Structure 1
Amino acid sequence: MNEYVLKTNQLSKKYHRKWALHKVGLTIKKGSIYGFIGQNGAGKSTLIRVITGLAYPTSGTFELFGETNERQVIEARKRIGTIIEGPALYPHMTAAENLEAHRLLKGIPGKECIEKTLALVGLQDTGRKKAKDFSLGMKQRLGLGIALLGDPEFLILDEPINGLDPMGVVEVRELLKKLNQEYGITMLISSHILSELHLLATDYGIIHHGELLEQLSAKELNEKCQQYLHIKVDNPNRAATVMENKLSTQAYEVMPDGAIKLFAYVDMPRKISKLLTDEGLVIEEFMPMGEDLESYFSHRIGGVQHG
Structure 2
Amino acid sequence: MDISIKKPTTALREAEVRVRNLVGMHVPADPRRGYTDRMEALSGSLLVGYKEGHRPSSPNRAMLVAGANRAQQIIRKANDQFAGICFLRKKESQLMQDILATHFKLIAGDDGGGTLDSNVVNQRLRLKKILQTDRRTVIEKIRRAMLSISFHLNTGIYLIDIDADHRDIKSGKGVDPANADHGTLGYVSAEKTSLDPMTWRAASFRWSSGITCGFRHGEIHVPLGRATEFTDISLAQLIIHEATHKYLNTDDEAYANDPDYLNLDLTESLNNADSYAWAAVSLYCKAVKAATPALAAADDFQCTK
**TM-score, with length taken from structure 1:** 0.22
Structure with greater strand percent: 1
When Rg is computed on C-alpha atoms for both structures, the one with the higher figure is 1
More helix by share: 2
Q: Normalised by the size of structure 2, how large is the TM-score?
A: 0.22
